[in-house]
Structure 1
Amino acid sequence: MPVPSRALRRCLPAVVLVLALSGCAGAVSVDPAADASNPRCADVMISLPPVVAEHEQRNTDSQATSAWGAPSQVVLRCGVGVPGPTTDPCVTVNDVDWVVREGDPAWTATTYGRDPAVEVLFDPEQVASSTVLVELGAAVSRVEQTRACVGLSEAIPPPSD
């Protein structure tokens, strides 16, 4: 598995801290992504569902972020770095491609082929990835898809005879 990007390594401790502390009252503290001010993130944010995986949406303290559950079970950031070609698993759920990285305990799903990209963190022991990705799909699809996940057979042309 490739080493996470420098930006992801920098923000991961903050996100883990958010997940640990989000049981406290008040707004959830989430570090904004580098491109959080992108106008397309506003389209995503106003389209987010009020409930994800049976958890109510909570207020956050930064732009282009959201969280669901108390303590937070799902955390979303719009404007994260756009993933390039990768060997990480890429799944398509309701016409939205997601690059999924397993972590301990949080998994990260990042939209693929959309700029700005949206990142979702969740613990698969607490919420099903299929539920989270289905329920957030309509909102993140507000950002136009310009590339799609491909399989190995599609990425490398077969050798000619």
Structure 2
Amino acid sequence: MHRPTRAAFAALALVAAIVVTGCSSTVSLHAAPDANDPACAEVTALLPGNLAGESRRWTDAQATGAWGEPAAVLFTCGVEPIGPTTLPCQTVNGVDWVIDESKAPQYRVTSYGRVPAVEVYLDNDVVSSADVLDGLSLLVSRLPADGATCLAREDAAPSD
């Protein structure tokens, strides 16, 4: 019977350490309800390797992306589109984004008028929200538009 040598155990331990180290950089996320939409697959396949100066990391959920160590930007495609809101909306490269700053410096930014929708969480202390939206908007513009667009508050019809 063949007995493993110390060198074999050392090699096995080194391989195990590399595998464990490699797995530790994976960002655990949850797939959105419509993550399996083919439009999300197209967009996700084109996510940049670098965003707002942060390197892309592996994620463990379909149609997601993450950048930074620790993650400063989280991207999820396939979220439920949002309806009209009083939150601020900004158009970047043809894509409308609703910006929730209620937990600043962590922002939740959601595409508006795109189906499926995209949700981005970002740490504005680490990355510039302008750089993140600039880096993602051209990709998100590939998602089908549903005709809804942002309105300035003064242009919105008053509710009775």
**TM-score greater than 0.5 by the shorter chain:** yes
d(CA) in 2 for partners of 1:27, 1:61 = 7
Provide the C-alpha distance between the structure 1 equivalents of 2:99 and 2:153, rounded to a whole number of angstroms: 17
C-alpha deviation, 1:89, in angstroms: 0.5
Q: Give the unaligned 5+ runs of structure 2.
A: 1-22
2:49 corresponding residue in structure 1: 50
Specify the alignment match of 2:82 in structure 1: 83
Q: How does 1:46-125 map to 2 (within 5 A)?
A: 46-102=45-101, 103-125=103-125
TM superposition shift of 1:25: 2.5
- Aligned AA (1:122): L
Structure 1 counterpart of 2:28, which letter? Answer: S
Q: Distance in 2 between the 1:49 and 1:153 partners?
A: 36
Which secondary structure state, in structure 1, belongs to the residue aligned with residue 24 of structure 2? coil
Structure with bigger gyration radius = 2
In 2 relative to 1, CA 86–61 (structure 1 residues): closer, same or farther, beyond 3 Å?
same
> In structure 2, what is the Cα distance between the partners aligned to 1:137 and 1:41?
14
Determine if contact 2:56/2:65 at 8 Å carries over to the other structure: yes
Cα shift at 1:150 = 1.1
Residue 34 of structure 1: CA displacement? 1.3
The residue number in structure 1 matching 2:145 is 145
Q: How far off is 1:44 after superposition?
A: 1.0
User: Residue 38 of structure 1: CA displacement?
Assistant: 1.2
Contact persistence 1:47–1:138 (CA under 8 A): no
CA distance in 1, matches of 2:134, 2:145: 16
Structure 1 segments (4+ residues) deviating >2 Å: 152-155
Q: Deviations over 1:112-156 (max 9, x none)?
A: 000100000011111111000000111111102222101234322
Worse-superposed segment, 147-156 or 87-96: 147-156
CA contact (8 A) 2:66 2:73 kept: yes
Gapped runs of 5+ residues in structure 1? Answer: 1-23
1:126 and 2:134 matched: no
Name the TM-score, length of structure 2 as normaliser. 0.79
Q: Which residue of 2 aligns with 1:155?
A: 156
Q: How many residues align?
A: 134
* Maintained 8 Å contact 1:106/1:124: yes
Decide whether the 8 Å contact of 2:116 with 2:144 is kept in 1: no
Q: Is the 8 Å Cα contact of residues 86 and 153 (structure 2) preserved in structure 1?
A: no
String of CA shifts for 1:28-72, please: whole Å, max 9, x gaps. 101111111111101110121111011111110010101011111
